[in-house]
Structure formats: structure tokens, C-alpha cells
Amino acid sequence: YNTASPPAKAHFPKTSRQLPQAIIVGVRKCGTRALLEMLFLHPQIQKAAGEVHFFDRDDNYSKGLEWYRKKMPYSFKGQVTIEKSPSYFVTPEVPERIFAMNASVRLLVIVREPVTRAISDYAQLRSHASSTPSPPTSSFSSSSSSSSSSSSSPSMSPVSSNNVNSFQSPNSSTSTSLQQQQPQQQQQQRSFDELAIRSDGTINESYRPIAISIYHMHMYRWLEVFERRQILIVNGDQLIDDPVPQLKRIESFLRLESHIGRHNFYFNHTKGFYCMRSDSEEKCLKESKGRRHPRVSPMVVSKLRRFFSEHNRKFYDLVGEDLGWPE
């Protein structure tokens, strides 16, 4: 898709731009784009083009709600406006800012098995790094040391200077900065195995793809601000395997009539994913969605699965749902 183009359904008479009543707040690489595009199959849903990044970027947030509203698509009365910006999930200021806009907003958090998500994140960072010119120096230090990340890099979540994006688990004394990372280009010359596991054999929790996958460390902040019933946890692995049941759950969560069904999907064997079908067209997501993942050693995968099992349980407890991820 060309996500930058305005929505095809724009600006009929009796339409207006509305602040979103529902937001996909993350998680990055869990199928946020697929989810938004699939929901757009519903005639009662309008989606913002691109990612708006209003609540997580101070320079956008300071422009105010009118600026944000103008980024929204035209909609008819009764339609639901949705936007998605995956870095909202990990940015500490965002829950309160969204609450200040609309205390009864509905939030969608799409998650995926955390080790797969971390590898997908690595694959994206690596692919972006390889499409930008190399830095002049090739020397670099260990990934947990902290030269600051290049904020102009296209694949790092954008955060402005006073948005430190550090988070602290309610259950641990370790504060991890999502920004304090090596320049991404230097990191991405290294394998996932090297970046995820330190030379002493411990898990590199400060490596951003790992840190984002520790869902409970971010999720608790949302539950400090919003009622649990305002947040729907969407199973991103199931959205890949069989999208319709997840979409039905969302229709009911958004109090919409059931509309999206099997007729809206066909499996594209070349892509290896479901593609969408509406009255007017058939669409697959672009190539960067559904990338080939790099090889990761089975030992690293099982080490990470063990590491995540405790964190996953904390996440299940927090949200009151067991997602059944392998241990």
C-alpha cells in the first residue's frame, strides 16, 4: 500500500474530520499495519493515513488537538476514526495524553510471541540500516554501552529530546532506556544472536528489540490510566494465521455491526500471508510486511523463550488473559 495517499473515501458532503475514537497504540512489528488495513474493510471505519505520532513526539503534541484532528480522515456521523502509531505503546507520556484527549477512548494493543517480535524488529532495523550509507568509522563498542541513537534514523521510534522514553518495571529496580542504544547502523552489522545475548551469556535486556518485547513493563502504565475494559489485546499471531476471528472480536469491542468475514480474505501463497478483498479491489500489504527473518540459533531462541516466560506470565496476569506463548 501507499500509506501516504489520502483515503479513497475522502470528503463526501456531510463528512468531517473527527478525533479518533479508537487507537492502535502498538506493539511495533506485531501486525499494526495489517490490523489497521483489515479494519478499514469495515464500512463504519475510517483510518488516518500513515502514522500520526501525535502523542509520542513533543514537537507534534505541542501543536495541539486541532493539528491532530486535521490529520484525521473525513468521516460520516457514526463512523469510527482510527489511527495507529506503534511507538505510543512504549512512550511513557502517551497514556495520560490520550486520556486527556478522551477518557473513554478505545485502545487496541496487538501483541505477538515476544521472541518472534524481537527478531522481526531486528530484521526491520537491519533492512533500514542497509539502505542508508555506512558511517565513516567502522569501530564500535558493545551493544549495552551507550552512545546515543541517531534520532533521524528512519527505523528507530522517534522521540524528542525531553521525551526520554525510559521505563521502569513496577517489579524490578532496573530502569532501561529505549534510547540508549548504539548507532543502529553499527548494531545491525551484528547478528541478532550477538545483540540479544551478551558475551557473558546473559540476555541483553537493554537491546531495544528485546526491551520492547517485555510487554508488561510498558503495559502497566496503560492500566494505571485506563480501565481494563477500554483496552483490547489482539493476538497478532492469530491475525496472521486466521484474521477473521480477531476482527470479529474487534468489531464487537468497537460496538460495530459484524461486517468483515471470510469473503474479505484470500491466502496469497507467493506472499505467504492473507491479502484483502473488498468490493472494489484486492490488496496485499507491501513487501516490508512479511519479511524473511534472519537465521537465529535454536540455542538463542530457547534461551530467550526461557527469559520471556516469566515476563509473559507477568503480562498475562496484568491483562487477565493467557496468550499461550511457548516457554
195: CB partners within 8 A, 6+ apart:
122, 143, 187, 204, 207, 209
Work out whether 240 is an interface residue with ligand A3P (CB under 6 A): yes
Binders of ligand A3P among residues 41 to 100 (CB under 6 A) are 86
Interacting residue with ligand A3P among 23, 25, 33, 52 (CB under 6 A): 33
Residue nearest to ligand A3P (CB): 120
Of the candidates 234, 145, 133, 134, which has an alpha carbon nearest to the alpha carbon of residue 182? 145
Interaction between residue 29 and ligand A3P (CB under 6 A): yes
Residue 46 has φ and ψ, to the nearest 5°, of -120, 140
Matching residue, cell 513526539: 57
C-alpha cell of residue 52? 500520526
Residue 264: phi, psi to the nearest 5?
A: -85, 0
Per rule CB under 6 A, is residue 290 in the interface with ligand A3P?
Answer: yes
What is the closest distance, in whole angstroms, from the C-beta atom of residue 156 to ligand A3P in the complex?
Answer: 14
Does position 28 bind ligand A3P by CB under 6 A?
yes
Region binding ligand A3P by CB under 6 A among candidate stretches 31-39, 91-99, 300-308, 312-320: 31-39
Point out which span in 1-9, 100-108, 130-138, 282-290 binds ligand A3P (CB under 6 A). 282-290
In the complex, minimum distance from the CB of residue 209 to ligand A3P, in angstroms, rounded to a whole number: 11
Place of cell 476482527: 247
Identify which range of 7-15, 26-34, 210-218, 298-306 contacts ligand A3P by CB under 6 A. Answer: 26-34
Burial of 313 (0-12, 13-18, 19+ CB in 10 A): middle
Query: Closer CB to ligand A3P, residue 93 or residue 237?
Result: 237
Residue closer to ligand A3P (CB basis): 71 or 289:
289
Beta strands, E only, the chain: 16-17, 22-26, 45-47, 74-75, 80-84, 106-111, 166-168, 175-177, 231-235, 265-268, 273-277, 282-283
Phi, psi of 131 (to 5 degrees): -95, 5
The answer to whether the CB of 99 falls within 8 A of the CB of 191 is: no
Q: Distances from the Cα of 294 to the Cαs of 121, 126, 207, 214, in angstroms?
A: 11, 10, 17, 21
Nearer CB in complex with ligand A3P: 14/292: 292
| Cα dihedral across residues 304, 307, 312, 318: positive or negative | negative
What string marks each residue from 125 to 164 as x (binds ligand A3P by CB under 6 A) or -? ----------------------------------------
148 versus 278: smaller Cβ distance to ligand A3P: 278
Q: How many residues bind ligand A3P (CB under 6 A)?
A: 18
CB of 54 to ligand A3P, least distance (A): 18
Q: Is 239 in the site for ligand A3P (CB under 6 A)?
A: yes
List of residues contacting ligand A3P (CB under 6 A): 28-34, 86, 120, 123, 239-240, 273-274, 285, 289-291
